[in-house]
């Protein structure tokens, strides 16, 4: 329930930011690139190059446009993707971690817990119970 609440709040903030900030083709291109390449490493320097901006200028413009830093935005999108992958019983937490290019399973678990309030394995188990009435084995 907490996870659904956080997801809803994230979406409300996203849409509130979109309506208050004029469309920016450069930032929209970067956001589309992030979404299309979420499994890759996405360093801020590479994202800045997509807009032909310096890293510092890109960080400012991206934060103004989205309301969050590029790094935090990428992490949030990776955790959204992780939740979808963890819902699949064929993927282990470790497989999800490396599929989304996290440097280690410990870092993945730390970020996941910070953003969802539970560990990836707790999320996986809770999802299975909510969908199937029992945890996967």
Express each pLDDT in 64-84 by its tens digit: 999 999 999 999 999 999 999
Alpha helices, H only, 1-137: 2-20, 25-36, 44-50, 55-66, 70-86, 93-99, 105-116, 120-132
Query: Over the chain, what is the mean pLDDT?
Result: 89
> Which residue in this structure is represented by tokens 């446009």?
65
Distance, CA of 119 to CA of 122 (rounded, Å): 5
Q: Would you say the pTM of this structure is higher than 0.75?
A: yes
Q: Burial, 48: exposed, middle or buried (Cβ in 10 Å; 0-12, 13-18, 19+)?
A: buried
Q: How many CB atoms lie within 10 A of CB 130?
A: 10
**How is residue 20 written in tokens?**
């208050």
- Number of separate helices (H) and strands (E) present in the chain: 8, 0
Mean local confidence (pLDDT), 40-44: 97
Local confidence band at 129 (pLDDT 50, 70, 90 cut-offs) = confident
> Which residue in this structure is represented by tokens 């997509």?
50
**How is residue 96 written in tokens?**
């999800």
Q: Burial, 89: exposed, middle or buried (Cβ in 10 Å; 0-12, 13-18, 19+)?
A: middle
Q: Burial, 96: exposed, middle or buried (Cβ in 10 Å; 0-12, 13-18, 19+)?
A: buried
34 vs 127, more confident: 34
The three-class DSSP label of residue 49 is: helix
């Amino acid at each position: 329930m907490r996870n659904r609440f956080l997801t809803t709040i994230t979406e409300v903030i996203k849409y509130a930011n979109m309506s208050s900030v004029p469309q920016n083709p450069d930032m929209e291109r970067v956001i589309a690139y992030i979404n299309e390449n979420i499994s890759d490493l996405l360093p801020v320097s590479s994202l800045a190059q997509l807009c032909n901006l310096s890293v510092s200028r890109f960080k400012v413009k991206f934060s103004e446009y989205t309301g969050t830093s590029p790094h935090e935005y990428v992490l949030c999108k990776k955790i959204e993707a992780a939740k979808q992958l963890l819902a699949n019983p064929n993927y282990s937490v470790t497989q999800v971690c490396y599929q989304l290019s996290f440097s280690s399973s410990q870092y993945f678990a730390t970020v996941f817990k910070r953003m969802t309030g539970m560990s990836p394995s707790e999320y996986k188990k809770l999802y299975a119970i909510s969908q199937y009435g029992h945890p996967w084995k």
